[in-house]
Structure 1
Amino acid sequence: MTKFLLSVHVLAAIVAIGPVTVAASMFPAAVRRAVAESGTDRDVAVLRSLHRICRVYAAVGIVVPVFGLATANSLGVLGDAWLITSIGLTSAAAGVLTLLVLPRQARMLAQVSDRAAGPSPAGPVDGRGPARLAAYTGLFNMLWAVVTVLMIVRPGSTTGV
């Protein structure tokens, strides 16, 4: 059963977290391009797609910690420091995504969409907005990278690594 749980955990991490990291990383550059081109229909469609990928795969990503905890329980490592650290970092990554990245993406998407139709009630896209979004996205990606390393290295593990 442990091998099954671990397999689902790893596959879910690849399938769910991978697309979010890529799409979220592409979003700030797409916003900059859309602002430079006055928000063409194509630019808005690209931003909508990237934002939808981030939202949908973020929701699917819930599977990753659920099966991670089930795997940890099966292995009897729930109290290990590396796992507790990973849980904290995963929670932080989820917070960055849901509280900082996704809302800013939605706001910028609305601003670019409205810009094509006229003045935006959300206001113009702030020149620093895409840079801030890129920084928050980088933080999200870095947190996941650290969690991934912890999952592979597992300090104190019995694998001898």
Structure 2
Amino acid sequence: MSVSPAWELRENGDPAATWFDVRLTFPDGAGVDLLAVVSGGCVSFEDVRARPPLSLVDLTELADWIEGPLFDSCAGASGTQAEPGAAAAGGARRARPAWPRGSEGRRLVAQEYRAAQQQGADPVLAVMSATGHSRRASLRLIAQARDAGYLAPRHAKG
């Protein structure tokens, strides 16, 4: 697998979005080339070409295949800290940091969320980085922290 920065869009001297060329080559001669863009803490695929074509199952697993090497390249390209456990070898899945369950976990999620808000950072991305969970799982944890009263309700009801 190879990951290399293709180009970068800067806003006020800081990277706003970075595009990466990613190439996966398999021992049987199959391969995948894709263009991934990292912006605002999110990764999206702009173009995917596979030989032979990917099945729907393989397409859903594509993110897992490139996750570790892409995060390593993001850290190297932007000079920023990579997400915890991002140095996985050979594209293996990253180990999640230990995160307490129950009320202790919800309290820590709320702390991470509020700290990111105070620093002007993306609170969901901060929770994702702290827990090692996906965006969807992190949003679920944030909702549980709200329901438990650790965070203010999202919308005022009136």
TM-score exceeds 0.5: no
TM band (smaller chain): under 0.3
Return the TM-score normalized by structure 2. Answer: 0.25
| Higher strand proportion (structure 1 or 2) | 2
Q: Which has the higher contact order (CA 8 A, sep 6+)?
A: 1
